[in-house]
C-alpha cells in the first residue's frame, strides 16, 4: 500500500512536470562582440608584402557576416581582394590579400587601410559594438651611400707589408715574384633595422692611374671577412670570388647585391672585399693605383638600395 502511494506520487510529479509550461529560455547572448587585437596595428610601418591582417574578437563570430563587413583598401582607396580564414573557434579572422601588397618605390610610404563595419556580428546577431578601422604602411625603398672604413682599407703586399694609412693602394704585380692586393671594408650596421631585402648594391672604386701594362694581368674580387688589415690577409681564404675586368683608370662599378644581402642576413657588421691579380712574370710592375678612404675625393663607396620600414 505504501509503495503504491509513493509510486502514484512519483508518477503524478512526472506528469505535472511534463505539463508545466516550458521555462523561458536562458537569457540570450546580448553582448556585442569587440575587436580585442588587430595586426598590423594602426600606424605600423614596414609591413611585409605577404602579411595578413589578423583580427581577434572577444567571442566567436558569424563568419559570413564578418567577412562581408571587412575591407582592405589599397593606397588608392580601392578594395583589395581577400582570402579569409578563421582560427581559434571563429574568434580570429585572418584576412590575407590575394595579391602581394605594394611597396613604395621611394622614401615616402604607401599606406593601406582596413576596416570592419558594425555589420560584423556574433552568431546571436549582436552587431559589433563599434566599427573598427586602422591603417598601416608597407616597406619603402631607401638608398644609402656607405664609405669604406679608413682603418680597414688599403694594401697588403706579398712580402707581408701592410699599408692601411695611405691615400691609395696598388693592385697588381710589382716584380717577377711579388704583388700587391687591395682591401675595402664597408659597415652595414647603418642599414635600418628590419631591412627586408637588398634590392641593389654597387661597389664604386676609383683607379687614379695605371702602371705598366695592366691588361696583361687577370683580376679577381674576393668576398672574405678579414677584420683588421694585417699581413695574413694577403692570402686569407675567401668565401666567394668573381673575375673582374678593369681596363682603364677611372671609376669602376661592380654589382655586389648577393654578397651584401648574405652578409646582411647573416648579421655581419660589414662587408669586406679584396682585389687581387695574377703575376705575368715579366719582371715589370703592372696594375692600377686605387683610391682608399684616405683619398681627398673619389673615395671607395658602396651604394646600397634596400626595402626597409
Binding site for Ca ion (CB under 5 A): 150, 153-154, 164, 173, 226-227, 230, 233, 280, 282, 284, 286, 292
Q: C-alpha angle 186/188/190, rounded to 5°?
A: 115
Task: Report the C-alpha gap between 119 and 109 in whole angstroms.
Answer: 31
To the nearest whole angstrom, how small is the minimum distance from the Cβ of residue 264 to Ca ion? 21
Q: Is 106 helix (H, G, I), strand (E, B) or coil?
A: coil
Using the Cα atoms of residue 204, residue 210, residue 212 and residue 213 in order, give the sign of their dihedral.
Answer: positive
Output the smallest distance, CB 250 to Ca ion, in A. 21
Please list the residues that pair with 157 across neighbouring strands: 180
Report the distance separating Cα 150 and Cα 185, nearest Å: 8
* Cβ atoms of residues 57 and 127 within 8 Å: no
Least Å distance between CB 244 and Ca ion? 18
Query: Looking at beta carbons only, is 141 or 231 nearer to Ca ion?
Result: 231
What is the DSSP code string of 230-298? Answer: -GGGGSPPPSEEEEE---SSEEEEEE-HHHHHHHHHTT-SEEEEEEEE----SSS-EEEEEE-TTSSSS
- Cα of first residue to Cα of last residue in the chain, in angstroms, is 89
Measure Cα distances from 263 to 140, 154, 256 in Å: 21, 21, 11
Given the complex with Ca ion, which of 195 and 291 has the nearer CB atom? 291
Given a contact cutoff of 8 angstroms between Cβ atoms, the answer to whether 302 and 271 are in contact is: yes
Closer to Ca ion by CB, 62 or 153: give it.
153
Query: Shortest distance, CB of residue 196 to Ca ion, whole angstroms?
Result: 31
CB closer to Ca ion, 44 vs 284: 284
CB of 158 to Ca ion, least distance (A): 13
Contacts of 286 (CB under 8 A, 6+ apart): 172, 173, 211, 212, 213, 214, 216, 217, 277, 280
Q: For residues 60 and 199, give the distance between their C-alpha atoms in angstroms, rounded to a whole number.
A: 43
> How far apart are CB 165 and Ca ion at their closest, in Å?
6
- Min dist CB 113 to Ca ion, Å, is 50
Compute the least distance from the CB of residue 43 to Ca ion, in Å: 44
Amino acid at each position: 500500500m505504501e509503495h503504491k502511494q509513493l509510486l502514484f506520487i512519483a508518477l503524478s510529479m512526472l506528469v505535472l512536470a511534463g505539463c508545466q509550461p516550458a521555462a523561458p529560455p536562458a537569457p540570450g547572448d546580448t553582448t556585442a562582440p569587440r575587436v580585442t587585437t588587430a595586426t598590423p596595428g594602426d600606424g605600423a610601418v614596414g609591413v611585409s608584402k605577404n602579411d595578413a591582417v589578423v583580427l581577434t574578437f572577444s567571442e566567436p563570430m558569424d563568419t559570413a557576416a564578418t567577412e562581408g563587413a571587412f575591407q582592405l583598401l589599397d593606397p588608392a582607396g580601392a578594395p583589395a581582394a581577400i582570402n579569409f580564414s578563421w582560427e581559434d573557434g571563429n574568434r580570429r579572422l585572418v584576412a590575407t590579400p590575394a595579391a602581394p601588397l605594394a611597396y613604395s618605390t621611394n622614401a615616402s610610404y604607401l599606406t593601406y587601410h582596413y576596416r570592419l563595419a558594425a555589420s560584423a556580428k556574433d552568431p546571436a546577431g549582436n552587431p559589433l559594438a563599434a566599427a573598427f578601422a586602422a591603417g598601416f604602411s608597407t616597406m619603402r625603398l631607401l638608398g644609402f651611400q656607405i664609405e669604406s672604413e679608413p682603418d680597414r682599407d688599403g694594401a697588403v703586399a706579398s712580402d707581408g707589408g701592410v699599408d692601411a694609412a695611405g691615400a691609395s693602394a696598388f693592385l697588381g704585380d710589382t716584380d717577377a715574384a711579388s704583388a700587391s692586393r687591395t682591401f675595402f671594408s664597408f659597415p652595414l650596421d647603418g642599414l635600418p633595422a628590419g631591412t627586408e631585402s637588398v634590392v641593389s648594391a654597387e661597389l664604386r672604386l676609383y683607379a687614379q692611374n695605371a702602371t705598366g701594362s695592366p691588361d696583361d694581368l687577370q683580376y679577381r674580387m674576393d668576398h672574405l671577412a678579414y677584420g683588421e688589415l694585417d699581413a695574413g690577409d694577403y692570402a686569407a681564404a675567401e668565401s666567394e670570388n668573381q673575375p673582374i675586368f678593369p681596363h682603364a683608370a677611372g671609376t669602376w662599378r661592380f654589382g655586389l647585391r648577393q654578397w651584401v644581402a648574405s652578409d646582411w642576413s647573416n648579421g655581419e657588421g660589414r662587408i669586406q672585399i679584396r682585389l687581387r691579380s695574377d703575376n705575368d712574370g715579366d719582371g715589370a710592375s703592372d696594375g692600377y693605383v686605387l683610391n682608399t678612404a684616405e683619398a681627398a675625393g673619389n673615395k671607395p663607396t658602396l651604394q646600397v638600395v634596400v626595402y626597409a620600414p
